[in-house]
Structure 1
Amino acid sequence: MKYKILCSDLDGTLLSTKSDVSKNTIEQIGKIKSDTKIILVSARMPSAMWYIQDDLGIIDQPIICYNGALVLSGNKELSSVFMPINILNTIYELCTGVEVDLGLYYNNEWYVPKTSLRVEKEIKYTKSTPVFQDTKQTLQNWKERKIGAHKIMLMCTKTSADILMPILQEKLGKALNLYRSNDTLIEIAPKSVSKLSAIKLLMVNHESLVDIIAFGDNYNDIEMLENVGCGVAVANARAEVKAISNYITLENTADGVAHYIANNLVN
């Protein structure tokens, strides 16, 4: 079947390294992008996605950032849902006394209280630079600007993440999406949005979910993969993701998305 839209997660899926798409992926995307929309769907901030769009030659396409909380077409906001300042203050208070740094994201802004090995990795892998500022000061500034967070990244130790996760789920689980991306990272996003909700926003009248093929690897990709016309998991995906997918391609490090395109989507 010929698909009108291809949606792909980035980290662990389309990216063959921690930060870049391969020449093979660029080549295979190039073969279909004239008649298939290529939409990148990620938890990343805009600047961490624009350079990948540029490499793929799809800078004219919209992007879905922060797992659906922010949808952009160039610099134009198509949709923006952020967590309000009262929620951010509650999270800050719950983190007080626990070994954790808050990474706060709004549109293309990223704030952290200090540098760390985790922050340096983010800078390297996403090619984006944070503002180093005390979290309390950031929250006060955002209150004055009447804005909130599209995403929060709690940078913990394993012990502090083990302590915080159940507390956050109990206090804020009904209001927020809480996602433990690894032993030391907890990502927080607005409850009302998802990758799928953002994809639906970008569909025009003559398109339906059946016309979409999507690629992913992690828990936050499940809803997207389950509901589009064809959901494809990379071989390195979580077992739960592979279980609900229509197909499983090669690992991201072996250019799994490019491999699937070359064998199934190129005429």
Structure 2
Amino acid sequence: MKYKILCSDLDGTLLSTKSDVSTNAIEQIRKIKNDTRIILVSARMPSGMRYIQEDLGITDQPIICYNGALVLSGNKELNSVFIPTTILKTIYELCAELEVDLGLYYNNEWYAPKTSLRVEKETKYTKSIPTFQDTQSTLDDWEQRNVGAHKIMLMCTKSSADTLMPILQEKLGEALNLYRSNDTLIEIAPKSVSKLSAIKLLMAEHDSLADIIAFGDNYNDIEMLENVGYGVAVANARDEVKAISKFITLENTADGVAHYIANNLVY
């Protein structure tokens, strides 16, 4: 079956390395992009997605950033939902006595209080550069500008994350999506948006979810994969993701998305 839209997560899914798409993926997407819209869907910031769009030759298409909190078409904002500074201040206060650094993201801005191994990895893998300044200064600036965070990354120790996660869930779980991506990282996003809600925003009037094929690997991909016409998990995906997917392709490091396209979508 031919699909009108192909949506793909990046890290652990479309990217065969930590930062880049393969020449095979570029070639396979080139074969279908005139008939199928290719929309990248990620937790990344815009600059961490733009270079991948350029490599794939799909800069004419919109991108879904921050798990749906920011949707862009070129430089035009199609949707923007951020966490207000009132909530950001509460999170900052909850982190004050713990070993936690706040990575704060708004549009194409990324702020961190200092460099660290995590920040250096993020810089290397997403090809994006943070601004280093203390968190209070960032919050004061955003309050004056009346903006907030499209995403928060709490960079913790395992101990501080173990302590902080249940506190955040109790105090802010109804207002925010809280996602522990590993032992030391807690990612926070607005509650009202998701990858699926952003995809629906980009659908033309005559499109339906049945017209969409999507690829993913992690918990934040489950809703998307469950509700589109055909959800495909890569072999390295979480077990819960593979369980709800209609098909499991090769691992991302073996070019699973490109492999599926070549064998199922190229005629």
The alignment's TM-score, normalised by the length of structure 1, stands at: 1.00
1:60 lines up with 2:94 in the alignment: no
1:43-192 equivalences under 5 Å are 43-192=43-192
Q: Which runs of 5+ in 1 are unaligned?
A: none
**Quick one: percent identity of the two aligned structures?**
85
**d(CA) in 2 for partners of 1:135, 1:237:** 34
The Cα RMSD (Å) is 0.3
User: Residue by residue, what CA displacement relative to the aligned partner does 1:27-66 show, whole Å, maximum 9, x if unpaired?
Assistant: 0000000010000000000000000000000011000000
Q: CA deviation at 1:206?
A: 1.2
**d(CA) in 2 for partners of 1:171, 1:95:** 13
| SS, match of residue 40 in structure 1 | strand
| SS, match of residue 89 in structure 2 | helix
Read off the aligned partner of 1:112 and give its amino acid letter: A
2:28 aligned partner: 28
| SS, match of residue 83 in structure 2 | coil
| SS, match of residue 192 in structure 1 | coil
The alignment's TM-score, normalised by the length of structure 2, stands at: 1.00
User: Residue by residue, what CA displacement relative to the aligned partner does 1:210-256 show, whole Å, maximum 9, x if unpaired?
Assistant: 00000000000000000000000000000000000000000000000
| SS, match of residue 207 in structure 1 | coil
1:247 aligned partner: 247
Q: Which runs of 4+ in 1 moved over 6 A?
A: none
**d(CA) in 2 for partners of 1:254, 1:230:** 21
| SS, match of residue 60 in structure 1 | coil
**d(CA) in 2 for partners of 1:185, 1:10:** 18
Read off the aligned partner of 2:75 and give its amino acid letter: N
1:198 aligned partner: 198
Read off the aligned partner of 1:153 and give its amino acid letter: M
| SS, match of residue 166 in structure 1 | helix
| SS, match of residue 90 in structure 2 | helix
Read off the aligned partner of 2:266 and give its amino acid letter: V
